[in-house]
Structure 1
Amino acid sequence: MRKVGVVPSSRAGSSSVRRWGVFPTHGVSFTQFLTSQYRTVAEHLGFSPSDVETLVTELSVALSPWGDHPIGSCPEVPSFVSADGFPAEMSISWRDRQPELRILFESLGEDATPAGCQRAGRALTERLADRPGVDLSRYHRVEDLFVSDDPRVNRPTIWHSLAWRPGESTRYKAYFNPQADSTDPVDVQDRMTEAMGRLGLERPWGWVRMWMPEMMDRGNEVEFAALDLTNSDRARVKVYFRITSRAWEDLNSVAALAAGHDSERAARVWRSLYHGQDKAEGEEPMVCLAFRRGSARPEEANLYFRLPENAVSDEDAAERTAVLMRQEGLDPRPYLSAINALAPQHPSTTTGLQDLLAFRTTSPDEPADIGMYLRFSVYDRPVEP
């Protein structure tokens, strides 16, 4: 979910230059590295040993066959998932005060090209068809809208994510690029409108499209879309908007299109994380609107607050996150323990491991859903434009 950027230095009041915490991966495969990180987080969240082993095996299968390749010193095909081109990120979400562990990744193809990655992503989707709870009927209705004969370098192709919480089956999502053939905002809107119509979401999407001219005037961009790979009544389509102004007013204007968004609570989070600043530093924050059948408008808005360049270090970012977790009735100790275990150097000396803090309200009387997106910088340099 990253655009091309620079190796960040702190703009949050520290005189010390903070660099990405770089993970040593010499001679290590993608699967070895990612399952090791996955195992570390799962164990610190308190998942049972048997669940951890099941999750690691499931992830290994999903990463096959490209996951067996060594990571190397630079990305053969830079992925849009991370600023340094690494093709995966991990996240933790707390919904109803229960932890959920997730991983998002772009499959790498046999040939080192975006087209190869696109083919590998489409092939993985078909392999997921026999997994419990997976249904590809909605995916097949819209796939042709988001693939390209000549996909661009460092843009999304077909991504996937796995999400698991104790007592539930693994859930899968596929991610699409609405800019597959054109970056023109009108073309992107038309493509999303066609997709939403095929999925029976004309009504809630119509509510958003009515506000699109104003949103585009503010510089908000449709970045990518995600589809739950199930056919239940609660299945979602999620549309992600990048807020190029980095301003709270513009972030909130998109989130307010969702029925469950609480602007006052979200504004308190913004002020707490960003120490009262009107604009965030560094890369742009994002908003995700969630659409379900039978609703007149998006049901939920997930706000993604950037932490690098807004916090002094990963240690500072973890402390700011812990404050929010306590406010929402969550015990931050397992999370803080996981961050300390994951960090390649002491968290006070690095930034970038904790990239996005997610915040979502569903009703005034319920605790908010909180999430943290973890980035593993292994190449120590941003992707060149």
Structure 2
Amino acid sequence: MRKVGVVPTSREVSSSPQRWGVFPAHDISFTQFLTSQYRTAAEHLGFSASDVETLITELSVALRPWGDHPIGPCPKVPSFVSADGFPAEMSLSWRERRPELRVLFESLGDEPTPAGCQRAGRSLTERLAERPGVDLHRYHLVEDLFVSEDPRLNRPTIWHSLAWRPGESTRYKTYFNPQAGSTDPADVLDRTTEAMGRLGLASSWSSVRMWMPEMMDRGNEIEFAALDLADSPNARVKVYFRINARSLEDLDAVASLASGHDSERAARVWRSLYHGQDKAEGEEPMVCLAFREGSAQPDEANLYLRLPGNAESDEDAAARTADLMRTEGLDPASYLDMIEALAPRPPSAMTGLQDLLAYRTKAPDRPADIGVYLRFSVYDQPVEP
């Protein structure tokens, strides 16, 4: 999830010590490319052959009809999902030491405009109602708050993700843009507050809302909102904050609003990644607060820490991630093999495949959830602001 204003120019990228690893995918379709990457990752994570084929089919259906189009040499509608405008990313996480594989994407419309993408995203949401376990009741309560008659270029429209791990059904999530109608921080806060009220989360949101003036004064902003498309007591509503000051203090202040956040453990991870400094380099880190019905405050805080600009290469990023996995009792061997298999060139000679390291604590005596977000650069240069 990029921020256009801080994406480096093509000159800066070209002169950096490590070049983006670019995938030669212009002549194949979005679906061919994404399902190939998904298959590679799933096989390295040890998913069964039958599960992999089922998941490939689900992903292919979700990407229709635009997924059948060739990727091409440049994006027709640059997506906010990735720095180069590619409309999808893949991520993997380990919750309770069990692997989960996810794909997030922005649907492309027949009309190559943000409005066309918004229509395609809304249409997919309705089609997902046919999937087992999907419930759109909460989505319909708030959709009108996050769509626009004239959505802006280089901002999110309606995004989706699908996630799967062994022994569970595929889960779907929708992402919204709280800045859809206005970028004014007060308007964004009002829109988010209205949505949380409609979703029955006014009380738990108030524990965050009371701190928002101070948070906004420090430059932190609400970036995304998302909800699980499920009718379940465990279904989440998530609010994402961009930490524009890039400081550990600001990140921890937001994350500490969640009951499960462990500041001490999070600080160790931060300082390990950011070379002992309390200030991050490169693009801003983010925090996601997860809300559930019946809780007095957010249950969880997921930290998203940037790897490019802080790790020397994708090889270095993988090594840092592997060290963290070992600390949490995970064997990183399959992850390291997966990065080697996915990378379009030797990981020691590139950067950008591993974009975000995610870290979430739940209780002192439980392992943290760890995640890595993967970007597939196919267009060779970032989208200009």
Pick closer, same or farther for the CA change 1:147–1:48 going to 2, 3 Å: same
CA–CA separation in structure 2 for the residues paired with 1:350 and 1:244: 26
Pick closer, same or farther for the CA change 1:137–1:18 going to 2, 3 Å: same
**2:108 maps to which residue?**
108
CA–CA separation in structure 1 for the residues paired with 2:12 and 2:312: 6
**2:177 maps to which residue?**
177
Secondary structure, aligned partner of 1:304:
strand
CA contact (8 A) 2:26 2:378 kept: no
Secondary structure, aligned partner of 2:188:
helix
Structure 1, unpaired ranges of 5+: none
CA–CA separation in structure 1 for the residues paired with 2:42 and 2:10: 28
Pick closer, same or farther for the CA change 1:374–1:9 going to 2, 3 Å: farther
Amino acid in structure 2 at the alignment position of 1:39? R
Structure 2, unpaired ranges of 5+: none
Equivalent runs, 1:68-147 vs 2, <5 Å: 68-147=68-147
How far has the Cα of 1:10 moved from its partner? 10
Aligned pair partner of 1:6 in 5, 8, 21: 8
How far has the Cα of 1:113 moved from its partner? 0.3
How far has the Cα of 1:16 moved from its partner? 6.9
Secondary structure, aligned partner of 1:73:
coil
Matched, 1:302 2:297: no
CA deviation digits over 1:148-181, x for unaligned, max 9? 0000001000000000000000000000000001
**2:292 maps to which residue?**
292
**2:246 maps to which residue?**
246
Q: In the comparison of the two structures, how many residue pairs are matched? A: 382
Amino acid in structure 2 at the alignment position of 1:29? S
Amino acid in structure 1 at the alignment position of 2:45? L
Equivalent runs, 1:214-233 vs 2, <5 Å: 214-233=214-233
Pick closer, same or farther for the CA change 1:103–1:326 going to 2, 3 Å: same
Pick closer, same or farther for the CA change 1:156–1:384 going to 2, 3 Å: same
CA–CA separation in structure 2 for the residues paired with 1:302 and 1:383: 27
Percent identity for Structure 1 against Structure 2 = 80
How far has the Cα of 1:6 moved from its partner? 1.2
Matched, 1:269 2:269: yes
Pick closer, same or farther for the CA change 1:313–1:231 going to 2, 3 Å: same
CA deviation digits over 1:258-297, x for unaligned, max 9? 0000000000001111120111111000000000010110
How far has the Cα of 1:239 moved from its partner? 0.3
CA–CA separation in structure 2 for the residues paired with 1:112 and 1:8: 24
**1:186 maps to which residue?**
186
Matched, 1:283 2:283: yes
Alignment RMSD (CA, Å): 1.3
CA deviation digits over 1:310-337, x for unaligned, max 9? 0000000000000000000000000000
Amino acid in structure 2 at the alignment position of 1:177? N
CA contact (8 A) 2:84 2:380 kept: yes
How far has the Cα of 1:9 moved from its partner? 9.8
CA contact (8 A) 1:10 1:311 kept: no
**1:372 maps to which residue?**
372
CA contact (8 A) 2:10 2:382 kept: no
CA contact (8 A) 2:9 2:384 kept: no
CA contact (8 A) 1:7 1:20 kept: no
Secondary structure, aligned partner of 1:172:
strand
Amino acid in structure 1 at the alignment position of 2:170? T
How far has the Cα of 1:26 moved from its partner? 2.8
Query: TM-score, length-normalised on structure 2?
Result: 0.98
Matched, 1:54 2:37: no
Secondary structure, aligned partner of 1:230:
coil
Secondary structure, aligned partner of 1:238:
strand
Query: TM-score, length-normalised on structure 1?
Result: 0.98
CA contact (8 A) 1:196 1:205 kept: yes
**2:325 maps to which residue?**
325
CA deviation digits over 1:63-116, x for unaligned, max 9? 000000000011000000001100000000100100000000000000100000
CA contact (8 A) 1:287 1:302 kept: yes
Secondary structure, aligned partner of 1:130:
coil
CA contact (8 A) 1:258 1:297 kept: yes
Secondary structure, aligned partner of 1:380:
coil
